[in-house]
Amino acid sequence: MATSPTLAQLEIMTEADLESIILTEGTSKLGVDARYILGKNYIEGSFPEKVPRNEKKGISWIREAVSQDHIAALEFKTYYDIRFEKHPSIEKILKSLEKVVEKSNSSRACASLAEFCHAK
Distance from C-alpha of 3 to C-alpha of 94, rounded to nearest angstrom: 36
Q: Give the count of beta carbons closer than 10 Å to the beta carbon of residue 4.
A: 12
pLDDT tens figures, 42-99: 999 988 999 999 999 999 999 999 999 999 999 999 999 999 999 999 999 999 999 9
DSSP string, 33-66: HHHHHHHHHHHH-S-TTTS---HHHHHHHHHHHH
> Would you place residue 4 in the very low, low, confident or very high pLDDT band (cuts 50, 70, 90)?
confident
Q: Is the pLDDT of residue 2 over 70?
A: no
pLDDT digits (tens, 9 = 90+) for 6-26: 989 999 999 999 999 999 999
* Spans of all domains in the chain: 1-68, 82-120
Q: Check whether 36 has a pLDDT greater than 90.
A: yes
- Listed in sequence order, the DSSP H helices in the chain are 7-11, 15-25, 29-44, 55-67, 71-84, 90-104, 107-119
